[in-house]
Amino acid sequence: MKLEDLEIYNLAMEMGEQVWSTVVKWDYFAKDTIGKQWVRAIDSVGANISEGFGRNTFKDSRLFYYIARGSLYESKTWLDKAKNRNLISEEYQILLDKHNKLGIKLNNFISKHTSLMNSKDSTISTNIGKAKYQ
């Protein structure tokens, strides 16, 4: 299995590009305050999923998946701030729906990963375990 086969990775990458496309249109002050933080947070989701995928042990991988989830929560804060400060309007619901979908899928992914990590057969390699997520 390749990283690009993970649905959570693809959703995170798609959201990162959508946030970038939104923020790049803002004025300097909005980009410099909310925009940079939001882009960094949402890009961190995909980056940490990638890093976790490349780790050697379930425990190492899971740590990065938790960090990805934290970055997703941070991204939600910036999404709300952008809406509250009238920087986005119609994009809000679209991004919120994607955020919620990714959050659910990432939580499920972490749960399955943890189940595999705690299984009696600790000899399962991470790549074999990752194939079971799909």
Comparison of pLDDT for 21 and 115, the residue scoring more: 21
For residue 32 the two structure tokens come to 């410099």
CB atoms within 10 A of CB 28: 8
Please name the residues in contact with 106: beta carbons below 8 A apart, sequence gap of 6 or more. 8, 45, 49, 65, 68, 69, 72
pLDDT digits (tens, 9 = 90+) for 24-57: 999 999 999 999 999 999 999 999 999 999 998 8
Find out whether 79 and 102 touch, Cβ atoms under 8 Å. Answer: no
| Cα–Cα dist 31/33, whole Å | 6
| Cα–Cα dist 28/63, whole Å | 35
DSSP conformational letter for 85: T
Coarse DSSP helix, strand, coil percentages of the chain, rounded to the nearest 5 percent: 80, 0, 20
pLDDT digits (tens, 9 = 90+) for 4-27: 999 999 999 999 999 999 999 999
| Listed residue (66, 70, 77, 65) closest to 9, CA to CA | 65
Domains delineated in the chain: 3-131 (1.20.1440.60)
